[in-house]
Amino acid sequence: MPTDNLQFTPHIKLEFKINEKDFFVAGESASRVKKTLQQLGLHQDIIKKVAIIIYEAAMNVAIHGNHGMLRIYIDPESILVETDDEGDGIPDIELAMQEGYSTATHEIREMGFGAGMGLFNIDQCSDELHIDSKVGTGTKLQAKVYLRKKDSISDP
């Protein structure tokens, strides 16, 4: 797998710290990465997908995750969006993925967030999605978008 040998392929890593209830960093990081991807000459459909994943994933960390990190790895094959948080964790990932399912507090919903679309949207936009969550410890999310559509079909 060429993507595993990151040290031999050119790649860049972008990193953002997400503090609890910091609802701005999601938008800011999405805009920053969007600009980077445009400079790399990537297709606008890919840019849009990645921007949505970043925004939703970072919002999840800000809402549920206490605090955490957002990292974006870009190599010639794919873009990996990764969030790591120290929140309460997700007891039932399958349920959380459902459209409209939300555990956001009333306060957060009043602010216009927490509509239960986050993980659903991330799933819709990514070619690969891994969520590793331990209740009480935290959640690691990895969403991958392939840069070349054809490769992704042959890739098991």
Partner 1 sequence: MIRNFHSVRLDPEKCKGCTNCIKRCPTEAIRVHDGKATIIEERCIDCGECIRACPNHAKFAVTDELDKLAAYKYNIALPAPSFFGQFKNQEHIEDILHAFLRLGFDDVFEVALAAEIVADIVHRHLLNDRVKKPLFSSACPAVLRLMQIKFPDLLHQCAPVLTPMEVAARLAKEEAVKKTGFSYEEIGTFFISPCPAKVTEVKHPIATKSSAVDGVIGANIIFKDIRKGIFRPDGISRSSKLQRATSLGMAWGFVTGESKNVNSGRALAVSGIHNVISLLDEVERGELQDVDFLELQACTGGCVGGPLNVTNLFVGRVRLRDLINRFGSKEPFFNKNKLIEFYDHGQFDATEPFQPRFLMPLDEDVSQALIKMERLDQITNDLPGLDCGACGSPSCRAFAEDVIRGIAIETDCVIKLKEKVKMLSDGILDLARVIPSASSDNPKQE
| Contact set for partner 1, span 57-116 (CB under 8 A) | 74-76, 112
Least Cα distance to 77 among 12, 148, 128, 14 occurs for: 148
- Cα separation, 70 vs 119, whole angstroms: 15
Asked whether position 125 contacts partner 1 by CB under 8 A, the answer is no
Asked whether position 31 contacts partner 1 by CB under 8 A, the answer is yes
56 CB-near residues (< 8 Å, 6+ apart): 26, 117, 118, 119, 121, 122
Binds partner 1 (CB under 8 A): choice among 25, 47, 62, 90? 47
Binding window for partner 1 (CB under 8 A); candidates: 38-46, 61-69, 84-92, 137-145: 38-46
Asked whether position 40 contacts partner 1 by CB under 8 A, the answer is yes
